[in-house]
Homo-oligomer: A and B are copies of this chain.
């Protein structure tokens, strides 16, 4: 039987933090004590966890001293500040921010893809970008069988990728639009109701956004394929929850849709939903609040010799963030890596 651990969640009141608590409860993670940490302004907030009520504390070194593992669900700057303090106090950090993902020596892990990387951690394990997690779960089994040569992906990303504020803004914009009032953007760059915004995160190199480049940089690190060719286009869509991805990939070995369907049907964390004649394909309205990555519309990419086109959808707050972090924590505990 697994040992019981003391677990901290940093940013417990946010969208991802809240989801982490749900996932810990659902998966019956053996926790001796759950410490909920957040911004001092949230101190005293009461959070439900299983049958308990947990009072939110402000972040202290003392809390990290007590905790064996801390799930970080805060922004990059706060992670950069607090994670080293946790590590110094012998608390293993599983960090959901961008802060450490590309740092050498920090494992960047999707358990279905590179669980073994967790072993080499030096205190911090990074949880990848949501779109990247979803994509790698779907393409890694194909890579193992056929060898990936190139990936072209266009995303359709839900507003909850920007947290609760993103959900609220879509809500407000929908209501404003329906009343014929002005939609005032603050979370997003432009009104998001009945619109599409091809701009997530900031523009970095070659006029790609960082969201797009994360799908390149992080996928390469997770899959240990430093030269994998990837081009991404990331688009925000007026969907509350679950990111969708249209993926065209090329393989070294000859590949067929039947083969990919077979490979994915036995891949961990994947559910194949692919029967066009029965109108069966993944859609964000139906994959939300689920942990798996759903794959459908698997077909030959008719524009290339060895290619596959497919449509991938998953709840980016669950598998794209909270669930993936909890899965990492499960391995840390099981393999006694704390």
Contacts and interface: CB of A to CB of B under 8 A. Distances in A.
Given A190-B283, A276-B199, A208 B302 contact: yes
A283 B235 CA distance: 10
Contact of A309 (B174, B231, B299): B231
A216 B246 contact: no
Nearest to A159: B194
A178 B177 CA distance: 13
Interface stretch (A21-29, A51-59, A104-112, A237-245): A237-245
A191 B246 contact: no
Contact of A300 (B206, B244, B307): B206
A211 B207 CA distance: 30
A311 B231 contact: no
Contacts of A156: 156, 196, 235, 237
A324 interface: no
Nearest to A231: B303
A248 interface: yes
Interface stretch (A12-20, A76-84, A146-154): A146-154
Contacts of A257: 206-207
B195 A239 contact: yes
Interface residues of A, number: 57
A47 interface: no
Contacts of A233: 154, 246, 248, 297, 309, 311
Interface of A: 150-152, 154, 156, 174-175, 178, 189-191, 194-199, 203, 206-209, 216, 229-231, 233, 235, 237-240, 244, 246, 248, 257, 276-277, 279, 281-285, 296-304, 307, 309, 311, 313
8 contacts: A152-B303, A194-B240, A196-B237, A199-B276, A207-B297, A209-B276, A233-B297, A237-B237
Given A190-B279, A195-B283, A199-B276, 13 more contacts: A150-B304, A154-B154, A154-B233, A156-B156, A156-B237, A174-B178, A194-B239, A198-B281, A198-B283, A216-B302, A231-B303, A233-B246, A238-B239
